[in-house]
Chains A and B, each alone.
Chain A
């Protein structure tokens, strides 16, 4: 399978702490995306990083991409209770118009 795979699977942190999630993939990609899913809701796009980019920021989110290691990380700084959700990485492969999603990282932020 060419799915992205997040690590760790579940994370519980205190409000104000940082949360870091990792994602690995297997083949060359056009871009990698991170999505958030709140319980019982659809996925919401957070950030997209292209294969020629190494780091990208959006508000409290920081995404890095290491194409040599075929991995990405998502950092949420100063977490809030509202950040409690599942976070998915998705990869868009060369020559393939499909997005492949990982199984998701469950993050619980304790107030």
Chain B
């Protein structure tokens, strides 16, 4: 299995631009998680899905952030408009059952 796939791996954009991060979970996994990692705040759960349905989005920082999972093999995290404080590494993870999570390589986002 290829593992969790994320794209792009790096993104540099200017403040105010829309950013879309993509994730392909491991086939057969029912749960998908989006995390954000910064030095200051550590690893934060933004939102997670079960069978393509958002279950808990209480970690989404504000309305500028949105996430979708149109099917079992694809999810997006969108930031519109982006701000410098959104600069972080964004991870997608998936799991078959609640427990062990498999992380993607992350998307390193820099908003100028």
Contacts and interface: CB of A to CB of B under 8 A. Distances in A.
B42 A44 contact: no
Contacts of B93: 42-43
A31 B33 CA distance: 18
Nearest to A46: B100
Interface of A: 3, 31, 33, 35, 41-45, 48, 88, 92, 97-104
Interface in B95-112: 98-106
A33 B106 CA distance: 20
Nearest to A99: B101
Top 3 nearest A-B pairs (CB, nearest first) are: A42-B103, A101-B43, A103-B42
Interface in B52-110: 55-56, 91, 93, 98-106
Given A97-B48, A98-B48, A99-B45, A92 B105 contact: no
Given A43-B91, A101-B42, A33 B100 contact: yes
B98 A97 contact: yes
Contact of B100 (A42, A48, A88): A48
B91 to A, nearest CB: 6
Given A97-B55, A97-B56, A98-B48, A92 B98 contact: yes
